[in-house]
Chain A
């Protein structure tokens, strides 16, 4: 279809070694060789040394680009290789930044279920692993959490943590506020919905965006301030962690946000991640610590939080958020959000659009019916709801 009349111009992104990024505009009837020459003109990598890889395939010089069905806006990997007949590749310089993966640490007390957080299960990563340092990210960057949420390691850890009943028991037992809620809170923790919330990047992201909307500059800076808000957000979508929400303990998460971050931040550069235990057992601030450790704030995990009086507040605020979740199940619904659904669900609507659900009014009805959960909305739409 592209061969008739003038061939359309493609805008192709090239992702090369050493963070090299190029944008090439080229007609779709050109060959791979011509694309390589265009890349060579914009970089210092001669065409002969370029290896272009797209969609799991190596692009061959003589083929026209149409063979590979490259679409505008798509990205092609470019690898610099030794000259074609060249010597062993190991003599060439590093072609890209290596993938750093979290190092694991052994727990201290094998009888404590929370020690698993430091064991081979991978949570040990939380103590020593600071992804943001490597990526050069500022923990106070509002986008930091989004970045974190898109990390598969983080998601895996979250999901695994929440699916381990022992860990849940410990979290509950170690916190009077949670324990006081009785079996209720267990159900909440173990509910499909909570699990989904905590392991679903979309819903976390969405809720984070909302949290930062309501607490500008605060919640986004502190991972847990955000999550605390989220806890409140899930059951009664329209009132995401707004200070003054019926749940009394909720506002604490906003007060704690800013003071905690700077105090714990130095831990990161000190590389204190190796601090024994990483996450102290029976620490009510467990989640707070986890997230701060992730956030690059406290490599030292518990140590950082323990000396910081505000961290305790943060932990309570966070749990208050969970309390909101628990409370939401039985208590009267929070006051309705007066904004139109198009505005409230803007992010989710966009996601549904991107996934190919183009019926806007059906999307809105689905989101209304599912409280803004994109995944449930998809199920709803696919089963014919909202038409």
Chain B
């Protein structure tokens, strides 16, 4: 156990990632598809989330990158949308802000329990399912928003917020297929 955190880039975490990759290639999960950006680098993943049906995001295709640090799985990966998003929990640059991607130990937001933050048992699949559920909820969570303007709009003018999201969803579908 101790050895995996000492040396950076020990092959054991690439094994873990390789294993998850193979599993997802053979038995992909409903709602997203994942692969490597460059087949020689297991630390950079390309992800496409299929907009969950019966939500604002239905019909959209959202590209994102998952970047794993050398300390994975002790430290969490980061996830960044390439497709433009408008959501209180997604920064303007696309970075996803969800509690399970927050590093363990430190509680920079002051309200999270350690069990909500990153745990090494999380996988690409569990992360993506969390993000899909983030997109699926009717009203986004407005506690400590990553995108303050989007949060404000959710609170004050939900109709406009929804319209903006729908527009981005349509754009995402066009960008994907043209």
* C-alpha spacing A96/B29, complex, angstroms: 11
Q: Would you list which residues of chain B between 139 and 178 have a CB under 8 Å from chain A?
A: 166, 169-170, 173, 176-177
Contact with B along A117-131 (1 / 0, CB 8 A): 000111000000000
CB of B28 within 8 A of CB of A121, answer: no
**Complex contact A90–B58 (CB within 8 A):** yes
Name the B residues within 8 Å of A344 (CB-CB). Answer: none
What chain B residues lie within 8 Å of A179 (beta carbons)? none
Structural contact, A74 and B25, CB atoms closer than 8 A? yes
Of A56, A75, A382, the contact of B48 (CB 8 Å cutoff): A56
Q: Given A58-B48, A77-B28, A192-B1, answer yes or no on A95-B58 (Cβ-Cβ < 8 Å).
A: yes
Interface 9-residue window, one of A47-55, A240-248, A253-261, A331-339: A47-55
Which of B52, B122, B170 meets A88, CB within 8 Å? B170
Q: Which residues of B contact A355 (CB under 8 A)?
A: 15, 18-19
Within the complex, the shortest CB–CB distance from A48 to chain B, in Å, comes to 11
A111 beta carbon closer than 8 Å to chain B: no
Smallest CB–CB gap between B19 and chain A, Å? 6
The tally of residues in B whose CB lies under 8 Å from a CB in A reads 57
B59 engages A75 (CB within 8 Å): no
Q: Is the CB of A199 closer than 8 A to any CB of chain B? A: yes
How many residues belonging to A are interface residues under a CB distance threshold of 8 Å?
53
Check A57–B35 contact: CB distance below 8 A. Answer: yes
Give the contacting residue for B63; candidates A56, A122, A383; CB below 8 A.
A56
CB distance from A168 to the nearest CB of B (A): 13
Which one of A27-35, A97-105, A225-233, A316-324 contacts B?
A97-105
Q: Is B61's CB within 8 Å of the partner chain A?
A: yes
How many angstroms between the C-alpha atoms of A152 and B125 in the bound complex?
8
A residues less than 8 Å from B114 (CB atoms): 160, 163
CA–CA, A15 and B31, complex, Å: 11
Given A101-B133, A382-B12: A121 and B113 interface contact (C-beta under 8 Å): yes
Q: Select which of A92, A96, A121, A155 is within 8 A of B121 by beta carbon.
A: A155
Residues in chain A within 8 A of chain B (CB atoms): 13, 15, 51, 53-58, 69, 71, 73-75, 77, 79, 81-82, 84, 88-90, 92, 94-99, 101, 120-122, 152-153, 155-156, 159-160, 163-164, 192, 196, 199-201, 354-356, 378-379, 382-383
